[in-house]
Amino acid sequence: MSSNPVAETVASLMPKARAELTELVAFKSVADFDQFPKSESEGAANWVADALRTEGFQDVALLDTPDGTQSVYGYLPGPEGAKTVLLYAHYDVQPPLDEAAWTTPPFELTERDGRWYGRGAADCKGGVIMHLLALRALKANGGVPVHVKVIAEGSEEMGTGGLERYAEEHLDLLEADTIVIGDAGNFRVGLPTVTATLRGMTLVRVRIDTLEGNLHSGQFGGAAPDALGALIRVLDSLRAEDGSTTVDGLIDEKSWDGLSYDEEQFRKDAKVLDGVELIGSGAVADRIWARPAVTVLGIDCPPVVGATPSVQASARALVSLRVPPGVDATEATKLLQAHLEAHTPWGARVRTEQIGQGQAFSADTTSPAYAAMAEAMAVAYPGQEMQYAGQGGSIPLCNTLAALYPSAEILLIGLSEPEAQIHAVNESVSPRELERLSVAEALFLRNYAGN
C-alpha cells in the first residue's frame, strides 16, 4: 500500500487524525438532553462545521432538525460536470453506560494495545475523520474529482428521525449520484467489507395493569393477579424453546446467501460465556442478518435492593424487534403489538405504544459504484477481495435516502468491526482500519469519477 501516493498521504496524516479524533471524542455528544447537556452536542456540531470550512466546503450549515438536534451540512464543488457523492457519518454517540467499567475514561481518546479507546471512536466520530482523511488525500494528489456533500447527523443513536424528516422537507439538499454511509464496519479487522443489507427495527413499550395498587404478598398473593408475573409471561411468549423469535404472523425462515459467519468466531466476537448456548436455529448469518430478532431492552419494576413483599399492580417493558429485509417494519410493529396483547394472561389490562421505527435496507450490489469500491478496497487491502455482509443493526436514514433518491447508489462502509465493541463499554477503533478505509474511500471517489 505504501507505494500508492494516496496511501502515503493518508499515512502522513494519521497523527493529525488522532489529534482531531481526540478533540471530537471529548464532546459528550449524547443526543439525550435529559442525560447530557445540549451544549456538548452543539460543541461537536460546531467542531465538524469548522473542519468542513477549513477543507474549503461551501454552504456549511447547522441544520435544526425537527427532533431538536442539529445535523451538519457542507458542499465541496468538484470539476464541472462531475458526479455528486454524499458522505454520511454521525457525531452523536451512545451513552457511556457504566463509566466505572471503562478501563480508561470514555470521553478521553486513549491508545492501548494498538487501538484507540473512547466513546464514538468507531461509531461514528471515526467515520467523520475517515471522510476528512479521504478528501485531504485526494486534494494532495491532484484534487477531488467529484462534487462532495457531507452530512453529519446529530441524533442517529436516538432513532428520533430528525434528519430523515428534514431531508423529506428539503428534497434537493442530500441529492447525489452515490451515497457512502460511513456507519458500518468490516466483517473483521483487515477484511474489506461492504454492508449489503440492514435490518429494520421497531420499538414498542408495553404496560400491564392488574390492581389499583400494590398488595401485601402474604395477605393477597396466590389469588391477586401479579402484573409483573403477567409481563414475564408475555415477554417469554416472544421466544421459542431454542430462543428464536416467535411473533405471531412474522416469518422466521429466511437464509443469508453472502459471507458466512463461523459459529466459534461469533461466540468469540459476542463474548459468549463458556457453556452458554447460542439462541435460534440455522446458520449464524441467517439469525443475525436475515431473520427477525426480539430483545427486551428494559423492564420497569422494583429493584432487588429495597424491594418489599408486594404483589405488583403495574409493570412495563421496552421491546425491540429487528426486522429483516423484505419485511415491512410498520406491518411487523402491528404484529408485535397484537402478539403482546393476545398473550397477556388473566384478563390483565395491556397497553402497547410504538415509540420508534425504521425500515430494513437492501442495496443493489451490481451497480457501478460497487465495482469502483471493490477496485479501491483491493488496493487499500492488498491481497484481499471485497466481501458482502449483512448487518443486524438499523440505519433508518438509508431507507429514507433510497426512497427520496431512487436512482442513487448507496454503499455502507465503516469502522465498526467486532473488536470495536460499539455501544458497549471500552469502545475502540483500529487506527490501521481508519487508515486503510480512508485510502479505500479516496480511491473509490477517484475510480467512481472515472466511470
The active-site residue out of 20, 40, 67, 92 is 92
Which cell numbers hold the place of 194? 461492504
Residues 6+ apart with CB under 8 A from 80: none
Sheet with 147-153, strands from edge to edge, namely: 58-64, 70-76, 147-153, 84-90, 178-181, 409-412
CB atoms within 10 A of CB 308: 8
Strands 178-181 and 110-112: unpaired
Residue type, 175: E
- Please say whether the beta carbons of 156 and 182 come within 8 A: no
The three three-digit cell numbers of residue 175, written as one number: 441529492
Looking at 123, 156, 252, 417, which residue is catalytic? 156
* Cβ neighbours for 400, distance < 8 A, ≥ 6 positions apart: 164, 167, 168
Q: Could you give the CA distance from residue 148 to residue 78 in angstroms, rounded to a whole number?
A: 7
Phi, psi of 70 (to 5 degrees): -120, 135
Respond yes or no: is residue 92 known to be catalytic.
Answer: yes
Give CA–CA dist 264/262, Å, rounded: 6
DSSP-based three-state secondary structure for 211: coil
Phi, psi of 34 (to 5 degrees): -80, -25
* Bridge partner residues of 194 (DSSP): 388
The answer to whether the CB of 106 falls within 8 A of the CB of 424 is no
* Set of cell numbers at residue 148: 462532495
Of 21, 18, 71, nearest to 45 (Cα)? 71
CB 390 within 8 A of CB 198: yes
SS3 33: coil
Asked whether the beta carbons of 49 and 42 are under 8 A apart, the reply is no
Return phi, psi of residue 184, to 5°: -115, -145
**What is the Cα–Cα distance from 110 to 376, expressed in whole angstroms?**
30
Run of H or E residues at 58: strand 58-64
Catalytic residue positions, numbered: 92, 156
